[in-house]
Amino acid sequence: MSLDVVELLASSHVPLSLGDIAAKLELSKAAVHGVLSNLEARRYVERMPDRQGYRLGHRLWELGLVASESIELPKVAHRYLERLVELSSESSQLSEYCAPGEVVYLDRVDSPNPVRANIHVGRRAPAYCVATGRALLAFQPKSEIDRVCDGPLQSFTKKTIVKPAKLRRELDLVRRRGYSINHGEYRGEIVGIAAPIRDHQGNVIAALSISGPEYRFTVKHAIALAPAVIKAAEAVSREFGQHFLQKRRAG
């Protein structure tokens, strides 16, 4: 019902009263009033100054900006993924954090090698045991870090970190050195290295990584590429920040 109210207000060129909304949706005023009260409290709708009608609220505009970032970011990051593949001959990925405790892959450039890490755009993975996931989880609010670390933490391989204290130490290490390493913790024999991407305010919004089979892409090799991964993430951060500010000024 909440989405019905939001979509109705979005389709109207003028504010709608409680009675208007109830009539158009064929619902009781009491039911609509409860929905509007909840939406108003969360800033999805707002009442007009004369309190005689409702319109969409600023929270939807804020969410629209977030959605816009998710759409535009892969466009900015793609060529940096390509450069990392050229440099490493391994696959490169772009991910963002999505609660509860997961990452979703937004873009990917495949390794030219026939044997490669099997990762698909649009798929999700547990944040605590993949490289981009830890690069993102390390910078989430304390409440989210606590929620994930306190588990339960599922073991996917013999190397998966399932002890909360050890995971917290790993996240501390990510924050100190600026990159994360995954050594076969989600998919056996796959090594990954990732660094966080920040927005124009310095908030971590995504991460990019290089990943490949351990027989070819060792942890030692991954760590040697850490400066390049961090540099690419910083370049995406700068370019995306500039793009966002220019778009906001133009709007």
Q: How far apart are CA 93 and CA 107, in angstroms?
A: 6
* pLDDT at res. 243: 56
* pLDDT at res. 40: 86
Q: Count Cβ atoms within 10 A of the Cβ of residue 73 and give its class: 0-12 exposed, 13-18 middle, 19 or more buried.
A: buried
- The whole-number average pLDDT for the span 110-134 is 89
pLDDT in tens, 153-169: 999 999 999 999 999 99
Closest CA to 103 of 192, 236, 220, 212: 192
pLDDT tier at 66 (50, 70, 90 boundaries)?
low
Kindly tell me if the per-residue pLDDT of 244 is higher than 60. no
Element (H, E) at 33: helix 29-41
pTM of the model: 0.70
Q: How far apart are CA 32 and CA 223, in angstroms?
A: 57
- The whole-number average pLDDT for the span 224-232 is 97
The CA-based diameter of the chain, rounded to the nearest angstrom, is 69
* pLDDT at res. 247: 56
- The whole-number average pLDDT for the span 19-35 is 88
* pLDDT at res. 1: 76
pLDDT tier at 43 (50, 70, 90 boundaries)?
confident
pLDDT tier at 15 (50, 70, 90 boundaries)?
confident
Q: Where are the domains of the chain?
A: 2-56, 65-250
Among 11-15, 70-74, 108-112, 214-218, the minimum mean pLDDT is found in 70-74
- The whole-number average pLDDT for the span 121-135 is 93
> How is domain 2-56 classified at the CATH fold level?
Arc Repressor Mutant, subunit A (1.10.10)
* pLDDT at res. 44: 83
Write the single-letter amino acid at 69: E
Q: How far apart are CA 37 and CA 2, in angstroms?
A: 11
DSSP 225: T
Kindly tell me if the per-residue pLDDT of 91 is higher than 70. yes
DSSP 12: -
The proportion of the chain whose per-residue pLDDT surpasses 70, expressed as a percent, equals 91
Q: How far apart are CA 183 and CA 193, in angstroms?
A: 9
65-250 placed in CATH 3.30.450.40: yes
* pLDDT at res. 165: 95
